[in-house]
Structure 1
């Protein structure tokens, strides 16, 4: 069975020719705890690669050691760790848009630094856009401005900061297909049947004579 340096025992290092000796086994049992204690202490020498495992008081000391320009006690532990991680890189590129992006993303998330010629602004101005993460309050904006001022070059001026939010949702469309036929019913005209009618006329003639005596 493969063992790591952290759980190997002294007996595992002893040649097979003497590992069966009772005294050697007793010595191994006595020495192994000290051996493993030293082995487990080795990781304490690797600090930067274990930043996400270190306690907050150690992170505070590292921030002082690496001269983190923007570092305040009320920052979250995640933000402090991010600033310590990017400190060396930010100092190396201080005065560049890259350094501005480093500190911005350490405090918030995905950000893009646009120079004035990228968005048609005034010369020597820049802005920070497309910042993700959760919504922030006024105090965070103030801290963000201080952080940017620490790493930007002197002749450049911050034109603004904007956040980007993606809202997921569903849009439902309903479609009704209506098919109908229009039938116009006009008044019905009946053809009258031929009607035969006979007309009878009657006439009388009265003739008389009048004699006067």
Structure 2
């Protein structure tokens, strides 16, 4: 981008100032210097085409929480893509839910007022397939990292719906203890 192109972007009421042509020149010099480094950022547009080793390096660079080189490629990409949002929004429900959904896509965070609980409490609800112990452990670790410090988890409910009309399988996970309820 040259000086004239930058100058043309200025609003008409500012173009009357002579010193702005100097500013436009300085900006054009900086843009031309930065343009070569901008091409390297295209790596984020085509992550699905990157080698696993490159993804592992990006995850290290972005300090992605609980990233593992053993994860499937799709999970790696999802965690890398979400990492910046997670770091700038830690302590919010949005960051917590986004971080957890990178591990368990069908997880939902319910705040205390949505289910009639006590203030500053929340629950995690998963509908669908049962989780592995590793997934459950990772969920608890992510909760500790991304939740607001004054908020507390008061329930982790895992519900699996059977295809028959009468059977539901519910599991309530209580920090290393799973209680299964069979209704039907």
TM-score by length of 2: 0.60
Indicate if the aligned counterparts of 1:70 and 1:150 stay in contact, CA closer than 8 A.
no
Aligned to 1:72: 68
Q: How far apart in 1 are the matches of 2:40 and 2:89?
A: 29
Runs of 4+ with >4 A deviation: none
Partner-residue secondary structure (3-state), 2:58: helix
* 1:144 equivalenced with 2:139 (yes/no): yes
Deviation at 1:107, TM superposition (A): 0.5
Q: How far apart in 2 are the matches of 1:130 and 1:136?
A: 9
Match of 2:104 among 103, 108, 122: 108
Partner-residue secondary structure (3-state), 2:80: helix
Output aligned runs, 1:92-103, within 5 Å: 92-103=88-99
Q: How far apart in 2 are the matches of 1:157 and 1:164?
A: 21
Change (3 A) 1:70 1:95: same
Length, aligned pairs only: 129
More helix by share: 2
Indicate if the aligned counterparts of 2:127 and 2:161 stay in contact, CA closer than 8 A.
no
Query: Larger radius of gyration, structure 1 or 2?
Result: 1
Cα-Cα RMSD: 2.6
Q: How far apart in 1 are the matches of 2:105 and 2:72?
A: 14
* Greater Cα offset, 119-128 or 99-108: 119-128
Deviation at 1:110, TM superposition (A): 2.4
Partner-residue secondary structure (3-state), 2:155: strand
Aligned to 2:174: none
More strand by share: 2
Change (3 A) 1:116 1:45: closer
Aligned to 1:83: 79
Stretches of structure 1 that go unaligned for 5 or more consecutive residues are 1-42, 172-213
